[in-house]
Amino acid sequence: MPELREVRALVGGRWLGADTTFPAVSPSTGETFAKVALGDTALADAAVRAAADAAAAWAATPPAERAAHLEEVAGLVRARRDELALMLTTDQGKPLHTEAFAEVDELAQYFSMAAHDAERVAGSLPDSVSAARRVMVRRVPLGVVGVVSPWNWPYTMGAELFAPAIAAGNTVVWVPAPTTSACSGVLAELVAESGLPPGVFNFVPGPGPVVGDAVVSHPLVAGVGFVGSVATGATVAARAAGKAQILELGGNGPMVVLADADLDLAAHESLEAAFLCAGQSCTAGERFLVERPVVAAFVERVVELTRAHVRLGDPFDDTTTMGPLNNEPTAEKFDRHVAEAVDHGARLCHGGQRAGGYPTSLFAEPTVLEAVTPDMLIAREETFGPVVPVVAVASAAEALELTNLSPFGLTAAVFTEDLERGLAFAEAARAGWVNVNASTNLWESHLPFGGRSGSSSGRGRVGGRCVLDALSEPKTVVFPAPRGSAPAWPGRLVP
């Protein structure tokens, strides 16, 4: 058996092991391929203190120098693209050729984007109420930022927070999801190789309730970025009370298909909405609200396309388009939601269970359900699995009502040949992001993304300058006007 890869913590520029490790197990093979340092509260405290020690010097570092470090990371990501993608597929389970390489490419973009944004931070010189004073407002970093990231996009969901945080002049402690700590450790190595000063970037793997909690609640941490579940997000919000927070949480994004929609397009986009990352996406199409006159035709097309194009299998095989679920709790929720729907009258049109014949039990069949009702778990909660639950609606008005009744408010999509109807729906939908004639999973990393205020899908925005602005703050300096520049009396200058 090959030697297990060792994943250590990075604290103050030093790679540290731990007294205890936990195994990294591939969801596609069931094999242990790495041993990961099991961080604890002491290690988390040491990382935060190292970040605090480095904060003042990094905040004083010119933005161009910060940008150069981030561009160096982007270059390292591109240079080691194959290694990063292979480790991602091994650790997370997403197909190598159709998804893993794409995430690595987007990862490089996040670092480059943060580098460019670092050099564009600008202040202002607003007027004072007094001619004898001048005012300068500039953006300054918060200090130490804690980042806790999920396992579905283990590279990009962490980097979308910590890259702009570093660009803004903050120091960072990153706590990755335990089930994808091995691939996250490879990324941490690349960030460290860029030559960032010790303590600017720190990496501590371990259980979220222990290490993540210790970081987000630490008195030296000034800002927190979290991507994950609604329940954990609520805990993070409470534990990080008083700190700047970005919380990107769950979704139950509806894909609305109106009777005048291009059904071929809608069915095609449904595959990406439901089966990208095996449905393990906060932006997934979690319920499909279809006008009754076209339900039968829509379901028929989706089933045909699923049979023809969705290839469940070994994620390293170049013909595979969907790999296993990442972990057993996620798979169990998929089982429970599908079973509850069928027990209450939903019709199973395709799939519906775990697939046999694979090294692990985490391979779930791509699933299509018809006659789903809004009260079923699969329509109310975030399933996080490969399923198209079709809910028949009488009208666009009913689809909008069901959209807005949900406690979630992350993404939505609407399909219609009438652009005016589509825009009207988009404006009225209670969601932070709405796509017209495109999958709920369509997003562009430079655009603001996050949950609608008042929903359970989070607060704040990621994307582009959003994180950099949220994890920095304006600082106002008022000072006397230069002598001779402000008239003391009309027509007279101060001598």
- Positions marked active-site: 248, 282
Three-class SS state of 27: coil
Contact residues for 349 (Cβ-Cβ < 8 A; gap 6+): 299, 303, 368, 369, 370
Residues 466 and 70: their CA atoms lie apart, in Å, by: 17
Q: Give the residues across from 124 on adjacent strands.
A: 137
Backbone angles phi, psi at 64, to 5 degrees: -65, -35
Residues 251 and 229: their CA atoms lie apart, in Å, by: 9
Give residue 191's Cα distance to chain centre.
Answer: 19
Kindly state the DSSP code that residue 28 receives in the 8-state scheme. Answer: T
Residues 77 and 87: their CA atoms lie apart, in Å, by: 13
Backbone angles phi, psi at 340, to 5 degrees: -65, -40
**Closest among 426, 414, 427 to 255, alpha carbons compared:** 414
**Closest among 218, 222, 206 to 16, alpha carbons compared:** 206
Q: Which two tokens stand for residue 130?
A: 């007094």
Backbone angles phi, psi at 49, to 5 degrees: -70, -35
Q: Which two tokens stand for residue 106?
A: 């987007």
**Closest among 454, 452, 451, 448 to 468, alpha carbons compared:** 448
Q: Cite the DSSP H helix spans in 344-440.
A: 377-380, 396-405, 419-428
